[in-house]
Amino acid sequence: MSNTVNLDWSKLGFSYIKTDLRYVSKWKDGQWDEGQLVEDNNLNISEASTALHYGQQCFEGLKAYRTKDNKIQLFRPDQNSKRLNSSCRRVLMPEVPEDKFIDACIQVVKANEAFVPPYGTGATLYLRPFVIGVGDNLGVRPAPEYIFSIFCSPVGPYFKGGMAPVNFIISDFDRAAPYGTGAAKVGGNYAGSLYPHKLAVEQGFADCIYLDPMTHTKIEEVGAANFFGITKDDKFVTPKSPSILPSITKYSLMHIAKEYLGMEVEERDVLVERLDEYKEAGACGTAAVISPIGGIQYKENMHVFHSLTEVGPVTKKLYDTLVGIQIGDVKAPEGWMVEVK
């Protein structure tokens, strides 16, 4: 085992732990600079930065995993690069070339190798790339300068309990507008989710579920994760909507369900009045991995799926295959895993 820092890996939650180095690159006069690794975890930016006032920013989340033979690998960083650039386009920020993005991820992981949790602990190294508008500016317009940065932090499960089922409540609030920024990973979507999240937690739920903003009849997102359900005839179903974040985990699970587990897969409406269609349900995302959904509170009713305490068998198979691929125990589809060497 290569040297790792002394942390209680299996007890980690999803919190910030400062690591040794982070990557910072600056954009000015139409181009990105070379970028460098820096020790300081504070950014020195103009008080008039558009990121601070007008939410001109976006971010990503991906993870590095240690395999049994002590290699380190990233899960589908090309997909995070593509989504980051699509978010950049939506809020008029310069795109980050894919090779620059992946190279920066690799630099950050290598520079903080001691923070990549050991194989078998369940913990991983979470990478947080982001682009922010900076420089002096006052009116509502795109910034004159930008920063692209990536920091990392070792993490455990996002929802308490990891693979233990958790419960959610349907929110009366919307996460995104029908033709708004729901499909972009921009901070404003998350600022707006803080209050509904607080209300859900106060009522004893892990988080809230958002319905489609137009009709309030269809499930869209489970907090900061996508939704999937397993129908009684074993179909993998997940919502289709222009206002949800296109989750890389969800598209990976669709592939796994079809190609590894031989299931039928459907991306379509998930009606909140028809939860009885599903024998199992889960929340999926980079941070959440797969969090089985025990039950969903909608108005006066608590709809229980497989069980409030036990993981359903299909959810378990999806989890084992996904995580198996990520940690190198299961053969990955071509191009999914990128080794950090």
Active centre residues (catalytic): 185
Q: Judged by CB under 6 A, does residue 55 bind ligand COI?
A: no
CA dist 73 and 326 (Å) reads 8
Choosing from 224, 275, 296, 322, the residue that interacts with ligand PLP (CB under 6 A) is 224
CA dist 43 and 30 (Å) reads 21
In terms of CB distance, is 35 or 156 closer to ligand PLP?
156
Provide the sign of the torsion angle of the four alpha carbons 179, 184, 186, 192, taken in this order: positive
CA dist 53 and 168 (Å) reads 32
* 274: Cβ contacts below 8 Å, ≥ 6 apart: none
Sole window of 134-142, 255-263, 285-293, 318-326 interacting with ligand COI (rule: CB under 6 A): 285-293
Choosing from 12, 55, 56, 61, the residue that interacts with ligand COI (CB under 6 A) is 61
In terms of CB distance, is 50 or 286 closer to ligand COI?
286
Minimum Å distance from CB 94 to ligand COI? 22
CA dist 9 and 78 (Å) reads 27
Sole window of 49-57, 69-77, 161-169, 283-291 interacting with ligand COI (rule: CB under 6 A): 283-291
Residues in region 284-313 near ligand PLP by CB under 6 A: 285-286
Q: Judged by CB under 6 A, does residue 248 bind ligand PLP?
A: yes
The residue with tokens 């009849």 is 217
Q: Judged by CB under 6 A, does residue 286 bind ligand COI?
A: yes
* 304: Cβ contacts below 8 Å, ≥ 6 apart: 294, 295
Residues in region 61-80 near ligand PLP by CB under 6 A: 61
Sole window of 26-34, 126-134, 247-255, 308-316 interacting with ligand PLP (rule: CB under 6 A): 247-255
| Burial class of residue 118, CB neighbours in 10 A (0-12, 13-18, 19+) | middle
> In the bound complex, which residue of the shown chain has the CB atom lying closest to ligand COI?
61
* 3-class state of residue 63 by DSSP: strand
In terms of CB distance, is 50 or 81 closer to ligand PLP?
81
Sole window of 36-44, 141-149, 212-220, 284-292 interacting with ligand COI (rule: CB under 6 A): 284-292
Amino acid at position 188, single letter: G
Choosing from 12, 108, 208, 245, the residue that interacts with ligand PLP (CB under 6 A) is 245
Q: Judged by CB under 6 A, does residue 208 bind ligand COI?
A: no
- Enter the tokens of residue 211: 């319905």
- The angle that helices 248-255 and 313-326 make with each other, rounded to 10 degrees, is 110
* 59: Cβ contacts below 8 Å, ≥ 6 apart: 84, 87, 128, 129, 130, 131, 185, 186, 187
Q: Judged by CB under 6 A, does residue 326 bind ligand COI?
A: no
Minimum Å distance from CB 269 to ligand PLP? 17
CA dist 127 and 111 (Å) reads 12
Angle subtended at Cα 166 by Cα 292 and Cα 189, rounded to the nearest 5 degrees: 90
Interaction site with ligand PLP (CB under 6 A): 61, 221, 224-226, 245, 247-250, 285-286
Interaction site with ligand COI (CB under 6 A): 61, 224, 285-287
